[in-house]
Structure 1
Amino acid sequence: MPDTRWTTVDERVARISWPPDENVDVVRREVAQALVDHDRVEAWIEAADEAGQRIATWSGMRREGVMRGVAQDRIVYARLATDVPLNEPGGFRALLNSFLPRKRAISQLLVRDHDDRVLLCQLTYKQDWDLPGGVVEVGESPHLAVRREVQEELGLDLEAGSLLLTDWLPPWGGWDDALCLVFDGGVHDAGVADRIVRQEREIRSASFCTLEEVRERCADFTARRIEAALGHLAAPGPKTTYTESGVAMSDSTSAPQ
């Protein structure tokens, strides 16, 4: 059985490997030794090798991503000579942050007119219509994200009010799961739609729609989400609603697709 060892694979880059039963302290020492003369030490761990992934992590290497298209998918771990030491808070937090789950967030704005219609967007990349909004960028506030998205896609500078709904979206159609946050966009004169300047790459059209049109034009889970958000507005008292695929958990124990 081969010992834990590292080899130089590129200029100032080392790659390390170890036997299945290796002690993490041994790997940690070898990583430190490799970084004496290298700027980077990396390990390629098969996706099914959970023990190897744990050793890579607790030896101080950060998870960087998945290498696809090889015999078996491999997860790439690496430590740089410039990384903050693990015994410092910033170094340990960076290590944890490299492998802890990250949830995609989507922010949307519920904009209504005085006839109780809802502003919907017809998108270029899918058939069904949706609320204005989009994906929250890394490090961005969801509240700021929805205002940015509406400005970019519709050319409208609309205030985002309070959070109306947190809707969990299960994995669907090749997408990972996500949290959709619906903010109150307030009530506006219907003429606000005439001021829309579409981002043509993503928006085909936008218009105020009745609830019946919402059901006709939107995917089922989007229509349920809009109805849940409207229901929150109609309910007395301050209350933020949580749903899964537009269904309140009191109504169902599992989220429909």
Structure 2
Amino acid sequence: MTDQPLTTVMTVADGVARITWSPGEPVDVVRREVAAALMTHARVEALVDPDDVSGQRIATWSGMRREGIMRGLTIEGAASDRIVYARLASDLPLQEPEGFRAILNSFLPRKRAIGQMLMRDGDDRVLLCQLTYKQDWDLPGGVVEVNESPRQGVTRELEEELGLTIAAGELLLTDWLPPWSGWEDALCLVFDGGVHDASLPERMVREEREIRSVAFKTLDEVRELAADFTTRRIESALARAHGHGSPFSESGRF
């Protein structure tokens, strides 16, 4: 006798059910079981193998949102990763546009955004920060927070780390950063911070936990102090500030 696809629901904690299904189970069956479980539970979750593309599709179209990856679970005696999907009783119905968008938003790719500012003095030297958590120098700025615009993010970073209130000007460069040394890929947006008096670093209030020193540097000094990809980005942003080059680069290269 051929085994039939099977869906099971088990309570794993107070108000939490975990659903599993065998390969070949129709999506509508899993969706019905999720809905039924939510009649008596606040949350229904599923743990899906990252290599199980079909299982990920079933979890998604049965109304569960992707929440992240649980690493190193012991499954059948071996350490394995599992993608966590879940649906809450309070989640909006799939047939409502906002509910459907929330499902899509949970698994579509997301990019890290970094906001930086190109600030120069009258001799076209570039303001660089010597950071406490890495050896090479970099432009002022940092990672943009969730629901924060890149322009707001770089302005906030300057206020927090340098005690400066300078509005970000024109977007000079969007630089795509490929995956590197444990980091996933990201987009770095370099804004024009204008031209300032050479004494500006003396008036800054550094966040000493992150910034060792700040100084205007010539392009030759940038090449000595910054990582090669940072140097390329600065060169590209400088070119844009002088009306040359492309507004988009990949690791600083046009």
Q: Is this a same-fold pair by TM over 0.5? A: yes
How far apart, CA to CA, are the structure 2 residues paired with 1:141 and 1:41? Answer: 34
- Secondary structure in structure 1 of the residue aligned to 2:124: coil
Cα drift, residue 235 of structure 1? 2.1
Cα drift, residue 190 of structure 1? 1.0
- Structure 2 residue aligned with 1:251: none
Greater than 3 Å deviation, 4+ residue runs? none
Q: Give TM-score, length-normalised by structure 1.
A: 0.94
How far apart, CA to CA, are the structure 1 residues paired with 2:243 and 2:205? Answer: 34
- Structure 2 residue aligned with 1:72: 80
**Identity across the alignment (%):** 70
Cα drift, residue 104 of structure 1? 0.2
Q: Deviations over 1:117-156 (max 9, x none)?
A: 0000000111000000000001101011100001101111
Letter of the 1:181 counterpart: L
Cα drift, residue 234 of structure 1? 1.5
2:186 matches 1:175: no
- Structure 2 residue aligned with 1:107: 115
2:160 matches 1:137: no
Letter of the 1:72 counterpart: S
2:8 matches 1:33: no
Match for 2:104 among 96, 110, 115?
96
How far apart, CA to CA, are the structure 1 residues paired with 2:202 and 2:166? Answer: 14
Q: Deviations over 1:189-227 (max 9, x none)?
A: 111111111111111111000000000000000000000
Letter of the 2:249 counterpart: T
- Structure 2 residue aligned with 1:243: 249
Letter of the 1:26 counterpart: V
2:52 matches 1:49: yes
How far apart, CA to CA, are the structure 2 residues paired with 1:54 and 1:72? Answer: 20
- Structure 1: where are the runs of 5+ without partners? 249-257
Q: Give TM-score, length-normalised by structure 2.
A: 0.95
How far apart, CA to CA, are the structure 1 residues paired with 2:194 and 2:169? Answer: 7
Contact 1:122 1:130 in 2 (8 A): yes
Q: How many residues align?
A: 246
Contact 1:47 1:72 in 2 (8 A): no
- Secondary structure in structure 2 of the residue aligned to 1:72: strand
- Structure 2: where are the runs of 5+ without partners? 74-78
- Structure 2 residue aligned with 1:254: none
